[in-house]
Amino acid sequence: MNITVQDGYYYSKEHEWAKIDGKRARIGISDYAQQKLGDITYVDPAQKGKTVKQFDFLTGIESVKAASDIYAPLSGAITAFNDTLDQSPELINQSCYEDGWIAEIELSDPSETKNLMTAAQYREYAGGLE
């Protein structure tokens, strides 16, 4: 499987990514995850204002193959959900790192990135799963 990994992003072992900009992080699922899930058919809107802890449940996602949980790669308060996914969940398949982002959070502990993988580490990790 040929997967795309974005430099400058952080990754979890559950295949979520976080792109940090100041005190906020945009969150989505990796190219590896979207390929494994197949065609995405629904994303449960993340609840704005809800506080999540690192690696706890963030929201759910459904595909033609399975329903899966999405976990928060970092702790914080959910400040936005990508409402475009309501009508076009397939954006995750088409552009998982750009248009297909899922949620944004206001970080409560930016040092938690030490518990995540860099792009190079994730590339090696995901490559070893095949």
Predicted pLDDT of residue 130: 75
Predicted pLDDT of residue 2: 82
Q: Is 2 contained in some domain?
A: no
How many domains does one find in the chain? 1
Q: Are 85 and 27 in contact (CB under 8 A)?
A: no
Residue in this structure with the two tokens 């999405």, named with its chain if needed: 70
Predicted pLDDT of residue 44: 97
End-to-end CA separation in angstroms for the chain: 7
Query: Which stretches of 4-118 are DSSP H helices?
Result: 31-37, 84-87, 91-94
Evaluate if residue 1 carries a pLDDT over 90: no
The closest alpha carbon to 104, from 30, 26, 22, 7, belongs to: 26
The pTM score is: 0.95
Q: Is 55 contained in some domain?
A: yes
Query: Which stretches of the chain are DSSP H helices?
Result: 31-37, 84-87, 91-94, 119-127
Q: 89 is in which domain, residue-wise? A: 10-127
Cβ contacts of residue 120 below 8 Å, gap of 6+? none
CATH of the domain at 95: 2.40.50.100
Evaluate if residue 109 carries a pLDDT over 90: yes
Q: Is 75 contained in some domain?
A: yes
